[in-house]
Amino acid sequence: MDYLLTENQKMIKDLCRQITEEKITPVAAELDKSEEFPWEVMKVIAKSDLFGLYIEEKYGGMGGGVLDLCLATEEFSKGCGGISVCYAASALGTYPIILYGTDEQKQKYLPDIAKGKKLAAFGLTEPAAGSDASAIQTTAKKEGDHYVLNGTKHFITNGGEAEIYTVIAMTDKTKGARGASAFIVEKGTPGFTFGKKEDKMGIRASATRELIFTDCKIPKENLLGKEGLGFIVTMKTFDMSRPGVAAQALGIAQGALDAAVKYAKERVQFGKPISSFQGIQFMLADMATEVEAARALVYATAREIDSGNKDSGRDSAMAKLFASDVAMKVTTDAVQIFGGYGYMKEYPAEKYMRDAKITQIYEGTNQIQRNIIALALIKEASKNKK
């Protein structure tokens, strides 16, 4: 299907495809096993200017938008969902600075992120605060020129590997969700350490760690926006970044579909390639149709955001929800088409399935996405009534 991409976007896609074929796919299975962070691939992506796709040119980026980022993430994910999330999570950690940073903050942090010299990460989730983000316990107390952070964040993608973290902490617990604020914390700040690296089901090339703050003093200039804006920063960041998770899911699904088609043509049973059997054909046809529908939704949402629509929460939730559910279904069917081989780690199918699962969970579970969509519908209906 022709999505009428610009010449530049086609170039991004081609370049990312080349990186995926030459640098990601060949190491995907090995890194899945060893859980080694893909620094070599990150360097290649950095040298190719791709970390700066969505960052303004005046801060050293390429001046593109969410669709550019989605195209890159999708291509990388065809090769490895674990490697692609290292790339995409850096954007998640960067969006709060892009959206709420002052010019000084942007000057200080964005150029290194755009050049790929430093990775970023986003720290919201805590052991007792997942879907209920308002339950976070980490505090930031203002003391003179500083804020002092205390608490633990967990399940943080790029934790330990990134240099720049945007962290949500409570500046006023009595105000509930309105008492949260967003901060930039640099790796190496005294009192900021990392906990254990998680042993995950999928996306194993990526690093997921705890962030531990113990009387961690950060300059007051590191506050993003104003005190109390923490949840707004989070919600607006997720509106921008969810199409990225959707693109990751999309890429994983497409990768699994491509592998399944190839296998179905090669695998011979009853004297014929299994692709000649209608049972397999129907599965492949459904998989391809769903992947294409997901792509249409993801690209449309990304375009809508890039066109300046500030109220894209509902659509961005739909894109993430739909693409990740498609990814789970398509990758499960890919394992089925591979049969017994699909269950073996020697073949790529099972990894796609393990990698797909997380896309239904992180950056808001798909149940939370449905909440967002339903709330938007109800809000819209009440507005029309008036």
Partner 1 sequence: MNIIVCIKQVPETTQVQIDPKTNTLIREGVQSIINPFDMYAIEEGIRIKEKFGGKVTVITMGPPQAECALREAISLGCDEGILLSDRAFAGSDTLATGYTLAMAIKKIKEFDIIICGKQASDGDTAQVGPGISAHLDIPQITYVKKIEEIQDGHATVERMTEEGFEILKTPLPCLITVVKEINEPRIPSLKGMMKAKKAVIATWKALDIEAEEYRIGLKGSPTQVVKIFTPPPRPKGQIFDGTPEESVEKLIGILKNHLI
Helix ranges (DSSP H) in the chain = 7-19, 25-34, 39-47, 66-79, 81-100, 103-114, 230-266, 278-306, 313-338, 349-357, 366-385
CA–CA distance, 86 with 121 (Å, rounded to integer): 9
Q: Which of 227, 292, 363, 380 is catalytic?
A: 363
If phi > 0 it is left, if psi is from -120 to 50 it is alpha, else beta; for residue 209 that is beta
Q: Is 363 a catalytic residue?
A: yes
Q: Which two tokens stand for residue 370?
A: 């449905």
Q: Strand 208-219 and strand 272-273: pairing? A: unpaired
Q: Which residue has the tokens 């990304």?
A: 302
Least distance between partner 1 and beta carbon 28 (Å): 17
Q: What are phi and psi of 226, to 5 degrees?
A: -115, 165
Under 8 Å between Cβ of 357 and 332 = no
Q: What are phi and psi of 187, to 5 degrees?
A: -60, 140
Least distance between partner 1 and beta carbon 19 (Å): 6
Residue 169 vs residues 106, 129, 131, 141, 226: alpha-carbon distances, Å: 21, 12, 16, 9, 13
Least distance between partner 1 and beta carbon 114 (Å): 11
If phi > 0 it is left, if psi is from -120 to 50 it is alpha, else beta; for residue 127 that is alpha
Please identify, using beta-carbon distances, which residue of 49 and 172 lies nearer to partner 1: 49
* Residues making contact with partner 1 (CB under 8 A): 7-8, 11-12, 15, 18-19, 22-23, 44, 47-50, 53, 62
Distance of CA 143 to the CA centre of its chain: 34
Least distance between partner 1 and beta carbon 45 (Å): 9
SS3 180: strand
Under 8 Å between Cβ of 298 and 247 = yes
CA–CA distance, 70 with 13 (Å, rounded to integer): 10
Please identify, using beta-carbon distances, which residue of 42 and 318 lies nearer to partner 1: 42
Least distance between partner 1 and beta carbon 116 (Å): 11
Q: Name which of 375, 283, 293 is nearest 331 in CA terms.
A: 283
Buried b (16+ CB within 10 A) or exposed e, 73-102: bbbbbbbbbbbbbbbbbbbbbbbbbbbbbe
Please identify, using beta-carbon distances, which residue of 22 and 30 lies nearer to partner 1: 22
SS3 110: helix
Least distance between partner 1 and beta carbon 53 (Å): 8
Least distance between partner 1 and beta carbon 267 (Å): 25
Please identify, using beta-carbon distances, which residue of 64 and 159 lies nearer to partner 1: 64
CA–CA distance, 61 with 114 (Å, rounded to integer): 5
CA–CA distance, 199 with 77 (Å, rounded to integer): 20
Least distance between partner 1 and beta carbon 44 (Å): 6
Active site residues: 363
